[in-house]
Amino acid sequence: MVARLALDAMVWTGEGSPTLAERRKRLSEFRTSNRRPIDRKFVRSIFERDHPGTADEAVIEAFADAILALDDSVPTGTYVDMCANLPICDPTKISAPTLIMRGEYDGIASLADLLKFFELLPNPDKQFAVMPGIAHASFHQKNYAICYHILESFFSQPAPIYRGGHLRP
């Protein structure tokens, strides 16, 4: 039912992730509550954790203002999943053409881990893009236009005419 799939900021096993190694130290704390508190410092860390300077200061502040106006905590589920339940996705079961996008400075999704995932994708119509000057929060980075360019290219790619001896109808 999915014609083409794009994965950005994808985390597969978490292997080789310095950020997840640090979070795992607090796993028991994350499991004690369904929510964890957030503040402006936490929101800034989303943009500065992997590589300071990849996001515009005005974007960071606007994002923090918007999030903190809504709540002072967020669910802990994603942290628990990333620290204790990975992998939750089996690449061998993804039959759709797939694009994996990874920021050059992504501190959560290691390049080696994602390349292993990519190799296991069964559909030969697949692409892997490393986006320069981008960390984990791709679409909130100074180089966000690169993300849109890669996506537009992938989703507008013509269907193959030849597929190993069979012409498409």
The encoded tokens of residue 145 equal 């236009």
- C-alpha–C-alpha distance, residues 82 and 13, integer Å: 8
Reported as a pLDDT band with limits 50, 70 and 90, residue 31 is very high
Q: Is 5-155 CATH 3.40.50.1820?
A: yes
Where exactly are the structural domains of the chain? 5-155
Report if pTM > 0.75: yes
Are 80 and 131 within 8 A, CB to CB? no
> Which tens digit of pLDDT belongs to each residue from 75-109?
999 999 999 999 999 999 999 999 999 999 999 98
The encoded tokens of residue 135 equal 């960390």
**CB neighbours of 163 closer than 8 A, spacing ≥ 6?**
none
> Which tens digit of pLDDT belongs to each residue from 106-160?
999 899 999 999 999 999 999 999 999 999 989 999 999 999 999 999 999 998 8
- C-alpha–C-alpha distance, residues 93 and 33, integer Å: 33
- C-alpha–C-alpha distance, residues 104 and 131, integer Å: 5
- C-alpha–C-alpha distance, residues 55 and 44, integer Å: 10
